[in-house]
Amino acid sequence: MTRLLFLGPPGAGKGTQAKVLADRCEIPHISTGDILREAKAKGTPLGQEAQGYMERGELVPDRLILDLIRDRLQQVDAQKGWILDGFPRNPSQASFLDQLLQEIGQRYDGVVNLEVPDEVVVSRMLARGRSDDNEETIRHRLEVYRQQTAPLIDFYSDRNSLIGIDGDRPVEEITESLQQLIQPS
Ligand code: ADP
């Protein structure tokens, strides 16, 4: 059973790595960013409400995210493990998750922190060209990351749950390090 949280700045490659690892473990890759982008593309009420925040590089309000996570972790496919990517993203989401996991009788095995320097994430995001990836929004997302998400590094490291992974390496090498984590050879 693998249950992991993925932390790291925007553009660190969380999505890429989380997806590969989830496929290999045959467990769902739960990305709040993907869920919100899909809602936006479909024009659902969630998507419409989230759109402005995402375009400005702000976090969407917690109330849009929490119920969604509660429902998702209780679906059948999530009973054999999961990788959470992009959640939690601030201390209140982290406390919510602790409480939720306790309530539903689950726990996480560890928190992967993908470490990548600022210059690298900015150039990666400019290269990928997503609609919220212009230089100004990118800088703002990094600022939001530093203020709201980076404190979670201490939060999880205080619980001895943090696993630092150097994300400034070729994709396959990082995948290899992650694979070792779940299946030490
Ligand atoms: P990245 O990590 O590259 O910034 P994501 O796909 O994880 O991209 O997120 C894109 C956007 O979706 C964020 O900038 C934010 O607006 C919103 N978002 C995603 N996850 C959350 C979350 N847990 N809480 C609030 N907003 C979120």
**Over the chain (185 residues), what is each successive 10-residue block's mean pLDDT?**
95 95 96 97 97 96 97 97 98 98 96 95 89 89 97 97 97 96 76
Q: Separation of 54 CA from ligand 1 center, angstroms?
A: 7
| Atom number, ligand 1, closest to the C-alpha of residue 9 | 2
The Cα-based distances of 19 to 64, 106, 126, 155 in angstroms read 23, 21, 21, 25
How many domains is the chain built from?
A: 1
Q: Is 92 part of any domain?
A: yes
pLDDT given for residue 185 in this prediction: 59
pLDDT given for residue 45 in this prediction: 97
pLDDT given for residue 28 in this prediction: 98
Question: Does any ligand 1 atom lie closer than 6 A to the CB of residue 96?
Answer: no
Q: Separation of 87 CA from ligand 1 center, angstroms?
A: 8
| Atom number, ligand 1, closest to the C-alpha of residue 58 | 16
Q: Is 68 part of any domain?
A: no
The residue contributing the CA closest to ligand 1 atom 5 is 33
Strand intervals (E) in the chain: 2-7, 29-31, 81-85, 110-115, 162-166
Rounded Cα–Cα distance for residues 53 and 55 (Å): 6
Question: Does any ligand 1 atom lie closer than 6 A to the CB of residue 9?
Answer: no
Question: Does any ligand 1 atom lie closer than 6 A to the CB of residue 141?
Answer: yes
Q: Is 54 part of any domain?
A: no
| Atom number, ligand 1, closest to the C-alpha of residue 11 | 3
For a pocket test of ligand 1, which of 7, 54, 100, 147 has the largest count of ligand atoms closer than 8 A to its C-beta? 54
93: domain CATH number is 3.40.50.300
User: Domain of 176?
Assistant: 2-27+82-182
Question: Does any ligand 1 atom lie closer than 6 A to the CB of residue 36?
Answer: yes
How many other C-beta atoms are found inside a 10 Å radius of the C-beta of residue 11? 26
pLDDT given for residue 146 in this prediction: 96
With beta carbons less than 8 A apart as the criterion, state whether 156 and 8 touch.
Answer: no
Q: Is 63 part of any domain?
A: no
Q: Is 72 part of any domain?
A: no
Q: Is 49 part of any domain?
A: no
Q: Is 48 part of any domain?
A: no
Question: Does any ligand 1 atom lie closer than 6 A to the CB of residue 39?
Answer: no
pTM to 2 decimal places: 0.94
Q: Is 56 part of any domain?
A: no
pLDDT given for residue 133 in this prediction: 87
